[in-house]
Structure 1
């Protein structure tokens, strides 16, 4: 759980830094801007922490915990981007965090279940589909573009988590032969490209909220189906309430993420 929290902190701050870098000029010049590069470094650190957590916890717990990076992003955007969030935006952030915290608290023990080669091949095919969709979506402009890019980024990051979770071993000799390793690399790259495009063309917290929905919902469902993740006995009701809080808060934040004067510009 400590690793999952560190992951959330790294990802949240990285989002705000990448948004600052993306706002400074064309997408092609991102890799020459220090805020974006620092954000990439934090993303890598966050992914390492997420990898560690995914090896020891149910998928939906890790994804729910790291999805709390939305709150970190909102706070960091105040000094980095000059965004002033209204009270209703903070309420939405708190609802997301509270809902995801309840989901994490309601998690059961990790199931000792592995997936076969066929499932890992399906993950690779899904990763290729996400990459193709990402290639198309990065060309879309506002207002639809950032919404699509945020959702595709979320699905890609969620698929990356599933691919990592399905890896039976992390030894280099095993990874080079495992389709799930390639699925993680392909979906992660496509998701990152979509996320960067969304940050440049849309409100940062809107893109982050939609990404959180995709990267949390997909792994939660697939984790139940593949690894039999489930709430602790007697926690079914709180888990459902946490899910409603998280989804409602994220949707509200995606609609009212920026102050009115910024949305009208």
Structure 2
């Protein structure tokens, strides 16, 4: 599969790469704005800090479902990008949606310190380094057994969410965000390795297809539970850091994701800067949310 890609005309290669970057950026914008919309819906429904059963009140909050719709759009863009770009690049761009979330929150009244904006700049620098270091190409197709294992990851993530929610401690939101990150990493890996058959109906026989759907739904529910317990930027940071690190390592180790010759150093530095920028942005945005107004006031 990779050989056919490399033998394609250079113009086709460039077009695929350009479309991959466009789709990845759109996915980051959609994910960041979707997180804010979902958080607003949760707070308007009055279920912030409640139980998972209270989430039924969200059915009367169209802004929450708008956020889910934006997230779905972002996922479709991410899936399209993953067919063209390696996991470490796409997932790092998605992690930068923390910056999108923080920027929107700032427009809604949350005042972030200068160090927070500096962290955004650090993350952007890391993404630029990753962008010039990535070697775009399709991934290696996983054996069917591994694709079934990806599908079965729904069960341990659901168990983690159930265990964390019943404890209801200060660490509940980070653990739930971690579970959501695990599920989203499985979604990314499944999308990266999805084999598209010639006949569309045969897609239902491909384990990666239901893996994307079921793990995606699990991630969305667990992420909603995390937002119910913590601030949107901090929760988003934990989720995307987990997602980015795990899926990137798997992509490089097992899926033939590659770095351009001579760009290993910039790629490592870019990844570190991108993740550090996301964490720093989340930290300062969370401090701003506690000291001033925040999106929860948008009712």
- TM-score, normalised relative to structure 2: 0.81
Supply the distance in 2 between the matched residues of 1:9 and 1:192 (Cα, whole angstroms): 17
Aligned to 1:229: 257
Aligned to 2:118: 91
Task: Give the deviation of 1:185 after TM superposition.
Answer: 1.8
Aligned to 1:51: 79
Aligned to 1:118: 145
2:182 alignment partner, one of 149, 152, 155: 155
Aligned to 1:145: 172
Aligned to 1:6: 26
Task: Give the deviation of 1:219 after TM superposition.
Answer: 1.3
Unpaired segments of 5 or more residues in structure 2?
1-20, 48-54, 293-299
1:206 alignment partner, one of 230, 234, 255: 234
Provide closer, same or farther for how the CA distance between residues 141 and 101 of structure 1 changes in structure 2, counting only shifts above 3 A: farther
Supply the distance in 2 between the matched residues of 1:118 and 1:204 (Cα, whole angstroms): 36
Task: Give the deviation of 1:254 after TM superposition.
Answer: 4.0
Supply the distance in 1 between the matched residues of 2:125 and 2:212 (Cα, whole angstroms): 29
Supply the distance in 2 between the matched residues of 1:219 and 1:183 (Cα, whole angstroms): 15
2:218 alignment partner, one of 165, 185, 190: 190
Provide closer, same or farther for how the CA distance between residues 164 and 140 of structure 1 changes in structure 2, counting only shifts above 3 A: farther
Give yes or no for contact 1:97–1:246 (8 Å, CA) kept in 2. Answer: yes
Q: Secondary structure at the match of 2:205?
A: coil
Task: Give the deviation of 1:125 after TM superposition.
Answer: 2.5
Supply the distance in 2 between the matched residues of 1:172 and 1:135 (Cα, whole angstroms): 36
Q: Secondary structure at the match of 2:178?
A: helix
- Cα deviation, 1:186-234, whole Å, max 9, x if unaligned, reads 2211211121112122121101111110111111111112221121111
Supply the distance in 1 between the matched residues of 2:277 and 2:167 (Cα, whole angstroms): 26
Q: Which has the larger radius of gyration?
A: 2
Unpaired segments of 5 or more residues in structure 1?
none
Supply the distance in 1 between the matched residues of 2:40 and 2:289 (Cα, whole angstroms): 19
Q: How many residues end up aligned between the 2 structures?
A: 264
Relative to structure 2, which stretch is displaced further, 96-105 or 115-124?
A: 96-105
Give yes or no for contact 2:95–2:278 (8 Å, CA) kept in 1. Answer: no
Give yes or no for contact 1:131–1:186 (8 Å, CA) kept in 2. Answer: no
Provide closer, same or farther for how the CA distance between residues 128 and 263 of structure 1 changes in structure 2, counting only shifts above 3 A: farther
- TM-score, normalised relative to structure 1: 0.90
2:96 alignment partner, one of 68, 74, 83: 68
Supply the distance in 1 between the matched residues of 2:24 and 2:247 (Cα, whole angstroms): 15
Alignment root-mean-square deviation, CA: 2.2
